[in-house]
Amino acid sequence: MIVLLTRHSNNQPVSLTKQIADSGEGQVWSTNLEGYLAKIYHDPTPARIAKLKVMLANPPAEPMLSHNHVSIAWVSDLLKDSNGKYLGFLMPAIADSKQLSSVYNPRLRKKVAPGFNWYYLHVTALNTAWIIQEIHAKGYVLGDIKLENILVNDRAMTAVIDTDSFQVRDPQSNQVYRCTVGSEGFTPPELLGKDFDTTNQTEICDRFRLGVLIHYLLFGYHPFSGQWTGVGESPEQTELIKQGYWYGGHNSPIRASETTIPLDVVHPELKQLFLKCFNEGHTKPHLRPTALDWHNGLEVAVNQLISCSRVDSHHYSRHYGKCYWCDRAVNLNIDIFPGVANTATIPSQIKQTSPPKVPSKYRKETIAKVHNTQNTKKSLSINDNPHKPKIHKRKLQNIILFIVIAAIPLAINIHQERTSFLQTKAETQAKDYIDRGLAHHNLNEYQEAIDDYTQAIYLNPDDFTSYFKRADIYYYLKEYRQAINDYSQVILLKRSNESVYHNRGKAYYYLEEYQEAIDDYTQAIHINLNYDDAYNNRGLAYVKLGDRRRAISDFRQAARLGNEAAKENLSYY
């Protein structure tokens, strides 16, 4: 049975040709439009359709566009029936990919993706963090991050699906369309027990989910698992998350078991990100690493992975100093990255200013291509052709080695020049967007300014100016969580001053997160001991927490520095 619908944008007819999935929310169909699927809701409520329209008008940047790969299955168009009623939407199909659960789990990976080694898993994590970074940059919260909602192909290029479940905020009306679903094991402590139908989530909630996801990829299991050493039976995973009990926690009753892969095997930067996410971030969620933090850390880690001299499919961090997987195979008789014989498809790292490249040392590897069948191809020797003179193997190797060594300086020079050119070009373009953003800002065209600053960040994510300017607009528009995210990026880039901490503190204050506000005001005062506004505002935060003694002390200090508001507060409190 073929169902005929119409596109919203141009009234083009669309045929639903075959149902390929059905859930409680709706059905997914193949269509007569090449490269597109359709999702048809069981109950296409006005709120669902309004949410889709906001998404359609505000798509995130597509980080893998230059690689001819769709990484975000975003709303492409709305679909309506012959009566003009909207029923669902079109979205791009993600071809030749499988769920992350197929590659993180060693047993399943051995069956369906035998060549997906630790290097591939690092690149998969890196690309996923980069996609989520772009989604967050547009103000969306993924909400239901889980292994089934992210696909990966045999080049380790990933894609996020089920995007209509995201939390969406209408930039015009500030209407929030919430993410009403969540997955066990991925829900952060602050949301446990909350009603998702009535709770606004933040990008900070996604940070916990991303940390769990990356841990799954690099270690093969959930971080909140291990050997229970406490009294009685081990609590359920949800309770472990709520209490912050994981094998890397301080004084945690969950300890590493015999088969637990130690945190030390990953690059030190990644280890610190995990600790920050699940230890510091447990009580202070805003301290969790952002998607940008993970992207940067994984990029460093990937470039420090080296190939094992004994097993081609083994990779380990240069900082660890030896092949952990070989040692594990000897000690436990378990090898989760066994050697295979097929030829690899090189995974792609997503870069921001140049096409993805894999360091040359990985190009020589012989790793299985990720697919369901295992057809081993016989390699053709140079001596298989009887019409060519035979060359001694050692002599041939020496000739090739001489050619490669001679070419290295030229290749390095070309690469450096190209990288420098692309970086300079991107920085110039970013500056143009910043200048235009400032012009829009001066004309009170706030959304246009935000869009320009966002594009500048995409082109040059190391320039703090765009984050700072965009944060100020978000603060003015009372989008305090977005402002906090951007001020935090300025701080992470180590370009913060007292104003950045002070402004972020005010945003926390208006979100009624008073302790976080106090922490930031304190940082501002440490930078500038004469910052009267910081003293006064910290006093107001202390009032909210019922600490009148400290509040009065701060008001007095601010008044001594000439702050008029503090003088009034002294007389009032």
pLDDT above 70 covers a percentage of the chain that reads 84
Q: In the beta sheet, which residues pair with residue 27?
A: 22, 40
Where do the H-state alpha helices sit in 304-392? Answer: 324-332, 360-363
* pLDDT exceeds cutoff 80 at 121: yes
Length of the chain: 573
- Which of the four pLDDT bands, split at 50, 70 and 90, describes residue 405? low
At residue 60, the pLDDT reads 94
Number of H helices, E strands in the chain: 20, 15
Average confidence (pLDDT) over 216-240: 95
Average confidence (pLDDT) over 352-357: 32
- Which of the four pLDDT bands, split at 50, 70 and 90, describes residue 408? low
Tell me the average pLDDT of the chain.
85
Q: What SS3 class is residue 327?
A: helix
Q: What SS3 class is residue 121?
A: helix
* pLDDT exceeds cutoff 70 at 424: no
| 18-72 tens-digit pLDDT | 999 998 899 999 999 999 999 999 999 999 999 999 999 999 999 988 788 999 9
For Cα atoms 36, 147, 308, give the angle at the middle one, nearest 5 degrees.
110
* pLDDT exceeds cutoff 50 at 106: yes
- DSSP for 190-206? GGTT--TTT----HHHH
Measure CA 256 to chain center. Answer: 26
Evaluate whether 1-93 and 422-572 have a shared fold. Answer: no
At residue 131, the pLDDT reads 97
Structure tokens at 522: 């304190």
- DSSP for 152-211? E-TTS-EEE--GGGSBEE-TTT--EE------TTTS-GGGTT--TTT----HHHHHHHHH
pLDDT above 90 covers a percentage of the chain that reads 65
- For residues 263 and 351, the model is more confident at 263
Q: Would you list the domain boundaries of the chain? A: 1-93, 422-572
* pLDDT exceeds cutoff 60 at 415: no
Q: What SS3 class is residue 36?
A: strand
| 485-527 tens-digit pLDDT | 999 988 888 766 889 999 999 999 999 999 999 999 998 998 8
- DSSP for 56-88? HHSPPP-TTGGGT---B----EEEE-TTS-EEE
CA-to-CA dists, residue 233 to 5, 229, 243, 254, 280, angstroms: 55, 9, 15, 12, 26
- Map tokens 């180590």 to a residue: 494
Contact 246, 261 (CB under 8 A): no
* pLDDT exceeds cutoff 80 at 143: yes
Per CATH, the number for 1-93 is: 3.30.200.20
CATH superfamily assigned to domain 422-572: Tetratricopeptide repeat domain (1.25.40.10)
At residue 426, the pLDDT reads 63
* pLDDT exceeds cutoff 60 at 400: no
Structure tokens at 448: 């246009």
Q: Burial of 401 by CB count in 10 Å (0-12 exposed, 13-18 middle, 19+ buried)?
A: exposed
At residue 528, the pLDDT reads 87
CA gap 512, 333 in Å, rounded? 53
* pLDDT exceeds cutoff 70 at 383: no
At residue 456, the pLDDT reads 86
